[in-house]
A and B are shown apart, each in its own frame.
Chain A
Amino acid sequence: MTAPPTEAPEALPSDADDPLAGAPHERRPGVVGALRELALGLIGPLLAILTALIVGALIIVFTDPTTLEAWGSFFSAPGTALADSWDLIATSYRALFDSSLGSQRALARTLVQSTPLILVGLSVALAFKAGMFNIGGAGQLIVGAMAAAWIGITFDLPQVVHLPLALVAGVIGGAVWGGIVGFLKARTGAHEVITSIMLNFVALRLLDYALSTDTFRRPGRSDPISPEMPASVRLPEPIDSFQVHLGFVIALLVAWGAWWLLQRTTIGFRMRAVGANAKAARYAGMGVAATTVLSMGIAGGLAGLGGTTILLGSTPRLTGGFFASVGFDAIALALLGRASPIGVVGAGLLFGALQAGSTGMQAQTSTPIDIIFVIQALIILFVAAPAIVRTVWRVKETRLGAGQRFSAGWGAQ
C-alpha cells in the first residue's frame, strides 16, 4: 500500500512561500535546495502514515477471529500465532495495494476516487488560508451537484455546451452555499464552523426534498433517486482503456489555480492577509468583510465542483445523502496536506488509494472495509498530534510542527 504524496504530478509548483510551513525558505537557490525542503516537509506526514499502517496492522490481527484463536493457543504453538498474523497482515495490505495501484484499472479507480477528495480538500485548504474553518464541504458539494443535476436533467444540449454549463452550475451552487457562510460571518460575526455545519443539514434536507419533486425524481420510482445524467453532461474519459474521467485533470488544474490565486494574485494576498492577521489587513486598507465573503464563495465553489465531478463522473445520479462523507474526509486531508494545494493533491491521492483499495481488500481477505476508516483516522491523529510520532520515531521537533498549527486554527478569531 503506497501512494505517497511524492507522486503528485510535477506540473504543480511547490507551495514554497506557504506561511504555514514556518521557516523562511521561499527561494533557496537550486533544485537541490527545493527538493531538500520538500523532503523535510514530507517527513512528518510520511511517518504519520507509516505509524497508522503499523497500528492498523495490529488492529487487523486482533479483530480477526481465526488469528485471535491462534493467539489463544500462543503458549502451545507460538509459531502458528505469529505466522498467521503475518500472513493476515501481508495478504490484507497486499490486496489493498493491488486494488489501488497494482494494475491500470486499479490505478484508474484510485484517481477517480481522489478527484472529489482533492477538490473539496482544496476548498477546506483555501478557506483555512483565509482564516476560516470550512466544515461545510458536505453541504456545498451537495448543492453544487444538485445545480449541475438540474442542468443535466432539464436541458437537452450538445456536449460542448451542456457539460461546461453543468460544471459552471456546480461551481455556482457551491459558491452560493459557501458564500452564505461568509456573508453571515462578515455581516453578523456568526462563527463559520457553526453556520457551515448547520448549512450541511439544510443541504441534506434540501436534497431529500428535491428528490421528492417531479423535477428531480426518476420517473416511475418512489424512492429518492434522480434519473441518470445524460451522456451530454458526462465527463469524458480522454484515454481509451484508462477509465479516468476528465474530472481528475480538472482537479489538478484547479489545484494549480488555487496555488496561483493564493500566491500570485492580489486577491490571494488579501485572503492570506485576512487569514493571518485581520487587524493588520484592515489597517492596510483591505476590505475584510468582502474578502471573507469572497473566500468562502470560492471555497464553496471548489466544493461544489467536487460534488459535480462525482455526479458527472463515477456516480451519475443523485441519491439521498449524496457523498456527504467526502466533505468530512476533505477536512482531514486538508490537515494532512497542511492546507497547501500540493499537499492536498498528495493527501487526496493517498485517501483515494486507500478508499479504492478497501473494497478489493475486503473481497480478497476477511479484513473489513472499515479498517480503512480506522487507518485514515489514525493518520489524522498522528498528524494532528506530532508529539506521538516524534516520541515513537525519535525525530527532532522542528521537523514536525505545521500540523499543530493547522489544528490550532480551530475557533481562531
Chain B
Amino acid sequence: MRVELRGITKRFPGVVANEDVNLVVEPGQVHALLGENGAGKSTLMNVLFGLYRQTEGEVLLDGVPASFSSPADAIDAGIGMVHQHFMLVPVFTVAENVMLGVEPTSAPGVLDRDAARRRVLELSARHGLDVDPDAMVEDLPVGVQQRVEILKALYREADCLILDEPTAVLTPSEIDDMLEIIRRLADEGRSVIFISHKLREVRAIADTITILRRGRVVGTTTPDESDEQELATAMVGRDVQLVVDRSAASPTDVVLRVSDLRVRDERDQLAVADVSFDVRAGEIVAIAGVQGNGQSELVSAIVGLRRPTAGRVELDGTDVTGANPARMVELGVAHVPEDRQRDGLISSFPVSDNLVLNLTGRSPYSRGIRMDRRAIRENAERLVQDFDIRTSSIDAAVGTLSGGNQQKVIVGREMSHTERLLVLSQPTRGLDVGSIQYIHHRIVQARDQGLAVLLNSSELDEVLALADRVIVMYRGGVIGEVSGEEATRDSVGMLMAGARA
C-alpha cells in the first residue's frame, strides 16, 4: 500500500507537534523516520493510526484520501502499528492475544481456538517469525513478545506496518533477527514505517530515510547518500561527535575487587558463577554481554541490592560483601540503575527530591530528622545547571521530564556524591543522540577525576566507545577480557555469542 501524508500539521494547546509534514511511503519499501525524542515521530504516526486527528493536512492511501476517527478505522484500512510499549495480555497465550478483538467463531459466541492457532502457525511460518501459539505471553522474552505484536498486525491483514522504536528493547542478536523480519515483510509488498533514533540500524534497513526535527521534516535521504555523521547532524541540528573524545586511561589503585562471586537470581538459579575482576581508580571497565547472562545480578550484588551466596566484594581493601545500599552510598559508591523508572526515580516526586533520593539522611540535606529544604533546593538548582537537565522547574514532578532528562537526574545525583566507584547499568538505554553524547562525556570526565567506573551495557557501541577494559559475560561467567584498544565489534561480539577467543 502506498501511504502518503500531505501537509500534516498537528497542534496541541500551546505546542505544535507536527508542522506541514509531507511523507510518501512506497509499497515494498522500508521507510525510516529518524528523529530525537520529542521530534514528533510518534505524534505523526498516531495521526496515521487514527489515535489523533490532524489539525491540517490529509492522509492518502493508494492515492485515495482517508479519514480515521479511531485506530479501528485505521486497522480496517490495512494499517498496523506495533507500539513501543506492547499491548499484550500477559496471562493469555500467543494465539489468544493475536485473535483478541477479531476472534474467529465456530458458532455465534463460541470461540474457534483451533482456527486461530492454525492461522498463527501459518503466519509465523510464512514470515519466519517462529512463535509458539500456545505459549503464555508472560513467559516469553521481550523479543518474542514483539513478534507477537507483529503477528497481531499481520493477522489483521495490515498492508502498512508502523514499528515504533522496535529495537529499543532488544539485544544485539535479537535486533539482527528483527531487521531480517522487517526486510522480509517489505519484500512481500508491504510498506513499512520504521521509527528509530539509532543511526546504524536505520542505515542498515531503510530504503528511504526522513529526518524529523522539532516537528518538521528537515531532510529526506537514503543510506547510500548519507553517513551516520550526516544523519546525526541533521537529526540534532548541530554538529555531534559520535566518537567519544578521551585520552588513554591512567589507572592507579584497585578500588573494587570482586573475587569468586556467586549470585542467585529471583528464581534461585545460579546467575553469576565464580566471577572475579578488579576495577582501578581512573579506568572504565565495561561488562559486556547479551542481556540475561548474569550482568544485572552481578551489579546488584556489588551495590548491595542482592546478597551473594559465595565470594567477596572488596572496596579499597575492605570487605563489603552483602553490605546494604545505604552503607555502599556512605562508602562512596554510586549506582545508576538499569531500570530508571522502576528503581532510580519516584516519578510523582519533584526533581529536587529525586536529586537527593538516597542522600536525605546526610548533611547538609537534613539535621536530625528535619530535612533542610533550602539545601535540597540549592543542590537541585546546581545540578540542573551542571547536568543540563531540561525541566520547567525543580519542583516539576520528575515523571513529566523526557527520558533523557530523567536519566540526567539520576546520573547527576549519583555523580554528585560518588567518591570512589561509579557503577552504571545501561546508562543510555532509550536515550537520544544528544543525551547519549552528554552522558558519555560525563562518564569519561568522572574517570579522569580518578573514579573507578564499572559500566554494564549491552549496547556494543557504548562499550567500544568508553571502555578501557572489556569483560565479557556469558552464561553467568566471564568468558573473556579484552583491552580497550583491542576491542572491536567482532572480537567482543564473538565473545558475547559464547565463542572463546
By a beta-carbon cutoff of 8 Å, the part of chain A in contact with chain B is: 17, 19-20, 22-27, 264-267, 269-270, 272-273, 276-277, 279-286
Contact = CB atoms under 8 A, between A and B. Distances in A.
A20 B347 CA distance: 11
A293 to B, nearest CB: 17
A232 to B, nearest CB: 33
Given A264-B373, A276-B346, A277-B342, 12 more contacts: A19-B349, A20-B348, A25-B395, A266-B361, A269-B371, A273-B346, A273-B349, A280-B342, A282-B305, A283-B335, A283-B343, A285-B328
A138 B360 CA distance: 34
A285 B358 contact: yes
A285 B397 CA distance: 21
B324 interface: yes
A21 to B, nearest CB: 10
A265 B358 CA distance: 14
B350 A17 contact: yes
Contacts of B305: 282-283
A280 B346 contact: yes
A272 B345 CA distance: 13
Given A282-B325, A285-B324, A264 B346 contact: no
Nearest to A272: B349
A267 B358 CA distance: 13
Among B329, B348, B371, chain A packs the most CB atoms within 10 A around the CB of: B348
B392 interface: yes
Interface in B355-401: 357-358, 360-361, 366, 369-371, 373, 392-393, 395-397, 400
B491 to A, nearest CB: 34
A272 B371 CA distance: 14
Contacts of B324: 285
B357 A273 contact: yes
Contacts of A265: 366, 369-371
A283 B370 contact: no
B87 interface: no
Band of interface residues on B: 35 or more
Contact of A283 (B325, B347, B353): B325
B352 to A, nearest CB: 8
Contacts of A281: 346
B349 A276 contact: yes
Contact of B325 (A272, A276, A285): A285
A405 to B, nearest CB: 9
Nearest to B347: A277
16 contacts: A22-B397, A24-B397, A270-B360, A272-B349, A273-B357, A276-B347, A276-B349, A277-B342, A277-B345, A277-B347, A279-B343, A280-B346, A280-B357, A285-B329, A286-B326, A286-B358
Contacts of B366: 265-266
Given A24-B395, A265-B371, A277-B342, A284 B325 contact: yes
Contacts of B326: 285-286
A27 B342 CA distance: 27
Among A20, A264, A279, A285, chain B packs the most CB atoms within 10 A around the CB of: A285
A277 B349 CA distance: 10
A20 B397 CA distance: 11
A285 B334 CA distance: 11
A26 B360 contact: no
Nearest to B391: A24
Contacts of A26: 350, 395
B342 A24 contact: no
Contacts of B400: 24
Contact of A24 (B325, B345, B350, B371): B350
B215 interface: no
A281 B200 CA distance: 37
B418 to A, nearest CB: 14
A285 B362 CA distance: 12
Contacts of A24: 350, 392-393, 395-397, 400
